[in-house]
Copies of this chain bind each other. A is one copy, B any other.
Amino acid sequence: MAMNLARSVEPRSEGLVDALREAILTGRYAPGTRLVQDDLAEAFGMSRIPLREALRRLEGEGLVVISPNRGAIVRPLAPKDVVDLYDLRLALEALALRRASERYADLRASTKARHAQARQAIAARNLTKLFRLDRDFHADIAAASDNPHLVAALGAQWSQIMRVMHAYFQAGDYPVDTWDDHEAIADAVAHGEADLAVERMSAHLTGSRDRILASLRAHGDRP
């Protein structure tokens, strides 16, 4: 019986993947960083076996590059990646918006709630929270598309863009009109106006991208 409410203890490598991914997305392990197995294994208190499996997992996700006999590094990022990623992202977000609009998905309430939270987070200079709120909006749209494969593709994109932001952003750079944009997009979706929603998303993403590229040029091209 004892029906395992605590859920069988997950294998070491499970939580490890999440911890490593988190560290990579937030830039604690910056692009290009060498991931030495002995060091990481000691840092996480386990042997290299589960660690290596976690690295392979992340390799499959595109966050890590592994060269035979030479080890793993956090996948590097170049300015062109920013352009390419946003180009791809817009195509994915547009599809998600169209599918969400078809069913008049109403994300207005949750979007508004996040807007309020964002104000607090801005006041508290809580950048981590801002990232999470931003992600939640886009994740909601993805979920509303009712297409798990699209959700996965957008998730992969988000990971890369998160890395870009952490690599090229300074805390102050977070655009304040993000949350107004979100509300405008949610409005369009709720009214089934897909084209309008896509147009607004396009402006939103272009602005975000250009801000990253500008801050990149300002702070030096050598990230």
- With A59-B60, A68-B8 known as contacts, the answer to whether A160 contacts B149 (CB < 8 A) is yes
**A40 is an interface residue with CB less than 8 A from chain B:** no
> Can you list 25 contacts pairing A with B, beta carbon distance less than 8 Å?
A8-B69, A10-B68, A11-B68, A11-B69, A13-B56, A14-B68, A53-B53, A53-B56, A54-B56, A56-B56, A56-B57, A56-B60, A58-B60, A59-B60, A60-B60, A60-B61, A60-B62, A84-B149, A87-B147, A87-B150, A88-B92, A88-B147, A91-B95, A149-B157, A153-B153
Quickly give the copy total for this chain: 2
Interface size on A, residues (CB 8 A): 37
**A205 is an interface residue with CB less than 8 A from chain B:** no
Complex CA distance for A88 and B32, rounded to whole angstroms: 31
The 0/1 profile, CB within 8 Å of B marked 1, for residues 149-168 of chain A is 11011001100100000000
**A143 is an interface residue with CB less than 8 A from chain B:** no
Instruction: Tell me how far the C-beta of A142 lies from the nearest C-beta in chain B, rounded to whole angstroms.
Output: 11
Chain B hits for A84, CB < 8 A: 147-150
What residue in chain B is nearest A7 (Cβ atoms)?
A: B68
